[in-house]
């Protein structure tokens, strides 16, 4: 629960600043010397402010089948 809460707090921190972290996967979660989670690899991150984004990106191995096959219904 501690690790999940750490990830949630990290994402909340970014979200409150208008940044979308779009590459959440186990390989991008690192532990520091004190056992806290650190997010890595901000290559897909995007600053959107109050806007929306419809770009599909990320690692296909971690995407849902409908997104990977472009059947999400988003236009």
Strands 37-39 and 46-47: unpaired
Query: Tell me, what CATH number does 43's domain have?
Result: 1.10.510.10
Mean pLDDT, residues 29-46: 93
Average pLDDT over residues 58-75: 71
Residue 9 domain flag:
yes
Q: Which of the residue ranges 2-6, 23-27, 41-45, 53-57 would you say has the lowest mean pLDDT?
A: 53-57
- Confirm whether 19 is domain-assigned: yes
Residue 37 sits in which domain range? 2-68
pTM for the model stands at 0.74
In a domain, 75, yes or no: no
Model confidence at 33, pLDDT cuts 50, 70, 90, reads: very high
- CB atoms near residue 68 (< 10 Å): 15
In a domain, 73, yes or no: no
Report residue 34's pLDDT band, with 50, 70 and 90 as the boundaries: very high
Would residue 49 count as lying in a domain? yes
Residues carrying an active site annotation: 23
DSSP track, 5-17:
HHHHHHHHHHHHT
Is a pLDDT exceeding 60 seen at residue 40? yes
Say if CB 46 and CB 20 are below 8 A apart.
yes
- Domains held by the chain: number: 1
- The beta strands (E) that lie in 1-75 are given as 19-20, 29-31, 37-39, 46-47
């Amino acid at each position: 629960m501690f690790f999940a809460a750490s990830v949630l707090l990290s994402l909340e921190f970014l979200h409150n600043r208008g940044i979308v972290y779009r590459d959440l996967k186990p390989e991008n979660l690192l532990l520091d010397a004190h056992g806290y989670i650190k997010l890595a690899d901000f290559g897909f991150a995007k600053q959107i402010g109050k806007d929306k984004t419809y770009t599909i990106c990320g690692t296909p191995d971690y995407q849902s089948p409908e997104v990977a096959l472009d059947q999400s219904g988003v236009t």
